[in-house]
Amino acid sequence: MASIRGLRERAFHVLFDGENGPASARRIDSFITWLIIANLAVLVLEHFPVYSGNEHLFQLFDEASIYLFTLEYALRLFAAAGDPVFRGKRVPALRQAITPFALIDLAVIGPYWLHLLGVVELDLRVLRVLRLLRLLKLMRDFVPALQQFRRANKGRTLRQKVDSLVNETPTSGALHAQVDLILMIVIILSVVAVVLETVPFIHDPLSHEFKIFDKVSVFLFTAEYLLRLYAAPEADAGKKPFVQRFSWVFKPSSLVDLIAIAPWYLHLFFPGVVDLRFIRILRVLRILKLTRYNTAMKTFSDVMRREQRAFFAAMFVTFLITILAGAIVYEVEHAAQPEKFDTMPRAMYWAVVTLASVGYGDISPVTPLGQAFTMVLALLGIGIVALPAGILGSAFSDQLHQQREEMIQRVEDALADGVITEAEARALEQERIRLHMSVEQFEILKNRAIARRGISGSASAVLKAVHNDLALIQLRLHSLPADQAMVGLEKLDLTETQRAAFRVLLK
């Protein structure tokens, strides 16, 4: 009996414990998420000509998805005894089966099996509609994040809660990251939809769906814009809310948000007045909203600010050569080719494409002197045009090196007392994500910081315990009253140094 219980606990830890388990649990969770998204994509593809003649492949994918979802459901019931929520309670599998998430999982697979066994007869269209229930499985991560957000922001004002939802704050938690992920997906899909609308065989069968999706995306972007506007005064409590909101409206990121929703409202309030091509271009500009969720633009601006003198010096030299080359070739070739080298700007265009080693061939010198000059300019362009690229490449490398040194310094600062607290670990994790650093790279930098600081063996043990065991201990103890939690802490197999660190963290 004990061996079966241990097997169930091991199954939960390996398969479904995304926070404290091994990488396999996170991979399974990620696989299920992408399988749900793939099911939605297949549901859309069934409206296209590709479905005709490939019905058996679509059916095979649908059946494979059902089998995988069924396997997931059965394994979750089997491993329920290992879930900290049900551990030690009677019939944990039954308790797991009646949870909202398990009922959603059952609703996803139930209709198919009932239809397959002949218990109920369902129309094919009904089965297709029921397949949309698979999207509800994505709520498995959203609901706990929402509950965590409510606990972290208990007692705060509505504006503070909104600020934590749309901006990264100490109380944002996982919900902020999930909201950002949803917005990023909608941004990408909305831009893809604008592109696909220009393809007739895609647009014609899905014209109604395109309109609905555009309305939904505009609604989400509008809600985001209004929420950010409402929470703007939280950035500086010392200023009046009106002043804060007015200055927020004219920030570059806020103007990008406005551009994302402006075309829809322009078409709504001024139908037939605004050129649809202009509206389509503005809708494509929604891609700029991604700059809010990616640090690449900030890194690029930092690099440009650092190397602006060298970069603009190289660009100035390139500009001078372009002007001089255009003037020379104009004087040399104008008489021989008045229809091609008719103006100085046209000659400058030739100089740019030659310096850039592009050479479209639409304009080219025919005189011996002009061709000789072209050879010199093309060879010169290899070095001149590569100069700004080399400056930026070197600057990017230096910037990344500097960011990693700053990360090491942050780890050293966090290790000043020999212990990385929960708040410090969360801050380091946010910084790791901001720098697009893998977990392996962060571990290397963390070990380098430990070596540079000369952390003692006991402090290193505390650090390891904080990273590997903190979440598990908190799951075990946070559900207990404070006095019982401390009693439970004393029973754990920890060193006195580790126990002292966790006493601080669990207060």
pLDDT band at 280 (very low <50, low <70, confident <90, very high): low
124-128, 214-218, 365-369: the lowest-pLDDT one: 124-128
What is the pTM for the complete model shown? 0.64
pLDDT band at 350 (very low <50, low <70, confident <90, very high): confident
pLDDT at 227 over 90: yes
What does the pLDDT look like over 241-267, one tens digit per residue?
A: 888 888 889 988 888 888 888 888 887
The predicted pLDDT at position 230 comes to 92
pLDDT at 461 over 50: no
Distance CA 101, CA 89 (A): 19
pLDDT at 294 over 70: no
Average pLDDT, integer, range 89-104? 85
What does the pLDDT look like over 371-397, one tens digit per residue?
A: 888 888 888 877 777 777 777 777 777
Residue at 245: amino acid letter: R
What does the pLDDT look like over 180-226, one tens digit per residue?
A: 888 888 888 888 888 888 888 777 877 888 888 888 888 999 999 99
The predicted pLDDT at position 209 comes to 81
Find where tokens 């399974």 sit. Answer: 28
Distance CA 139, CA 103 (A): 12
Residues 300, 302, 305, 311, Cα dihedral to 10°: -40
pLDDT band at 458 (very low <50, low <70, confident <90, very high): very low
pLDDT band at 71 (very low <50, low <70, confident <90, very high): very high
> Does residue 244 come out as left (phi exceeding 0), alpha (psi in the -120 to 50 range) or beta?
alpha
More confident residue, 243 or 488: 243
Residue spans per domain, the chain = 1-141, 153-294, 296-455
Instruction: Tell me if 153-294 shares its fold with 296-455.
Output: no
The predicted pLDDT at position 475 comes to 41
The predicted pLDDT at position 223 comes to 93
More confident residue, 253 or 431: 253
Query: What tokens does 426 get?
Result: 């969360």
pLDDT band at 463 (very low <50, low <70, confident <90, very high): very low
pLDDT band at 128 (very low <50, low <70, confident <90, very high): low
Query: What tokens does 503 get?
Result: 């006493």
Most confident of 227-231, 353-357, 420-424, 486-490: 227-231
The predicted pLDDT at position 226 comes to 93
State what percent of residues in the chain have pLDDT above 70. Answer: 79
pLDDT band at 474 (very low <50, low <70, confident <90, very high): very low
pLDDT at 465 over 60: no
pLDDT band at 137 (very low <50, low <70, confident <90, very high): confident
- C-alpha gyration radius of the chain: 30
Average pLDDT, integer, range 113-134? 70
What is the number of other CB atoms lying within 10 angstroms of the CB of residue 255? 13
CATH: 2.60.40.10, 1.10.3720.10, 3.40.640.10, 1.10.287.70. Which one for 296-455?
1.10.287.70
CB 93 within 8 A of CB 81: yes
Average pLDDT, integer, range 444-450? 74
The secondary structure of residue 134, as a DSSP letter, is: G
The predicted pLDDT at position 229 comes to 92
Backbone angles phi, psi at 409, to 5 degrees: -65, -40
CATH: 3.40.190.10, 3.30.590.10, 3.30.70.260, 1.20.120.350. Which one for 153-294?
1.20.120.350
Question: Could you tell me where the beta strands, DSSP code E, fall in 430-505?
Answer: none
What homologous superfamily does CATH list for 1-141? Answer: Voltage-gated potassium channels. Chain C (1.20.120.350)
State what percent of residues in the chain have pLDDT above 90. Answer: 4
